[in-house]
Amino acid sequence: MSEMMKAKVGIIGGGPSGLLLSQLLDLKGIDNVVLEKHTRNHVLGRIRAGVLEHGFADLMREAQCGARMDAEGELHTGFFINDNGTLHRIDLAGHTGGNSVMVYGQTELTRDLYEARDRMGGRIIHEAQDVAIHGADSDAPALTWRKGDETFRLACEFVIGADGFHGVSRKSIPREVLTEYEKVYPFGWLGVLSRTRPVSPELIYSRTPRGFSLCSLRSQVLSRYYIQVPLSDSVEDWPDEAFWEELKRRLPDEVAGRLETGPSIEKSIAPLRSFVAEPMRWGRLFLAGDAAHIVPPTGARGLNSAASDIHYLYHALCDHYLEGDDRGLETYSDRALARVWKAQRFSWWMTMMLHEFPDHPAYDRRLQQVELDYLLSSDAAQASLAENYVGLPF
């Protein structure tokens, strides 16, 4: 072993979840090390969601990382649902006592977190290969990894697995301990990022016989659009011109008429799945974010669910180190999963209501339309949607 290191907390994964927890802990004097498989530029090159719950925005401010978000992000107090050519606005603020969501790209949020870690001299080790977790079920866990021709070992007291669905953390929990739940949807989202003015100041979710679409944005000069496509499609099947024409077909005429098109900056297809692993703790290993759960992007819960995990972990670790109170650590999995499953339900419900399912029988299709009709005609139903969309309490 070429080098030995020590820290109270070892964090696997240098995405927004791992960086946010690292920053919050450092502000409380709890030393930690972050291990990230990829380079910093690779992490910052990921194009992801950009709708933040108000609770997530508050957590960024607590981490002293919210200044640029507050200056450049956009507060949205509502969004639109297009039902076969008719736009209906969901009044988030009106149904939730004034709450809103913050539209701020995940790439920018991650950059803010990196810069905050730089200012505090945070220990982030990039290109950490072959990470392994040792003794997670003991009182002295450790992490090992390789970088180049050298190997390293970190002795720590707790391990946080924020390394995504394909990471080592969840796989380190014995199979007889873990229960996994999964639902795979028969379609994906083709997403395009373009340097164009957004077609709408607020998001537009569209349900049409041709399939689902979403008009989103990152700023007033950067737009993000999605259309539902079969899993058999590839990016090569969708040149820019074909994408724009299909998107227009899934929007009301007056919206399609003002859609500004342009070359795609990024284009990708994301398959949709729902996934939960239980428990989210094994010994001194704690899972967070995509390592433990994934939702379809329909309800904008993915990054927000990860943030709620970080909220619980941050307070639990602070209670342990600053107050000598372990109740937060002992109840972490149950508390996190209670909120995770509510996010799963909401994302599943939005996905089932707004997408075209080619194999659904006529009965299911009629019920799907009735569900949307009820939502758009009921203040109570819209209040429930709004409550979930702006973020349930931690």
What is the per-residue pLDDT across 32-89, written as a single tens digit (0 to 9) for each? Answer: 999 999 999 999 887 676 899 999 999 999 999 999 999 999 999 999 999 989 999 9
For the domain made up of 3-75+101-181+273-350, the CATH class stated in words is: alpha beta
Could you tell me the residue ranges of all domains in the chain?
Answer: 3-75+101-181+273-350
Whether residue 279 is preceded by a cis peptide bond, meaning omega within 30 degrees of 0, is yes
Q: Measured between alpha carbons, how far apart are the two ends of the chain, in Å?
A: 42
The predicted-structure confidence for 355-384, as pLDDT tens digits, reads as follows 999 899 999 999 999 999 999 999 999 999
* Farthest-apart Cα atoms in the chain, separation: 66
128 neighbors 134 (Cβ within 8 angstroms): no
Identify the pLDDT of residue 50: 82
Other CB atoms within 10 A of residue 30 CB: 21
Distance, CA of 10 to CA of 295 (rounded, Å) = 26
Distance (Å, whole) CA 78 – CA 85: 19
* pLDDT score of 1 more than 60: no
| Whether 368 contacts 353, CB under 8 Å | yes
pLDDT digits (tens, 9 = 90+) for 280-310: 999 999 999 999 999 999 988 999 999 999 9
Q: State the pTM of this model.
A: 0.95
**Interval 147-199: pLDDT, tens:** 988 999 999 999 999 999 999 999 999 999 999 999 999 999 999 999 999 99
352: confidence class by pLDDT, cuts 50, 70, 90? very high
For position 219, what pLDDT does the model report? Answer: 84
| Calculated CA dihedral for residues 280, 308, 143, 325, nearest 10 degrees | -80
64: alpha, beta or left? (left if phi > 0; alpha if psi -120 to 50): left
What pLDDT score does 45 carry? Answer: 83
